[in-house]
Amino acid sequence: MSHDSSRKCQPAYEACHFSGAKTAVGTAKATLKLLQAITMGHDTLIAGQVHAGGAFYGIDSTIGVPFIMGNKGVEKIVELPMVEEEKALLKQCAEHVNQKLKPFL
């Protein structure tokens, strides 16, 4: 990369680097946790996208939730304490996402 090109990229690098965004590091850590859970039997708490199957406040779709991952896969979805209004909004959002994804499934 030329010096001029690297200078043009500098603002984007600084925005990512100094904003606290650590996508590559976060992804690597999550991958390592998954591998440890699968290969060594270490259960671990992960926040990720899973099909809730009704186990998270009755939501029967794929949604980002905290779950326990073990060597046999998702062991348990962990429900977070929420007030009824939050639960209703979350369900509404999940239904909206399902409708948007329906043509692709």
For residues 88 and 7, the model is more confident at 88
Per-residue pLDDT, 98: 85
Question: Could you read off the pLDDT of 13-69 as tens digits, one per residue?
Answer: 454 555 555 677 777 887 888 888 888 888 888 888 888 899 898 898 888 899 998
Nearest alpha carbon to residue 46 among 17, 81, 14, 75: 75
- The whole-model pTM stands at 0.64
Angle at 29 between CA 38 and CA 6, to 5 degrees: 145
Q: How far apart are CA 5 and CA 12, in angstroms?
A: 12
Per-residue pLDDT, 20: 57
Region at 91 (left for phi over 0; alpha for psi -120 to 50; beta for the rest): alpha
pLDDT at 105 over 80: no
In CATH, the number for domain 3-104 is 3.90.110.10
Query: What is the total residue count of the chain?
Result: 105
Torsions phi, psi of 60, nearest 5?
-110, 60
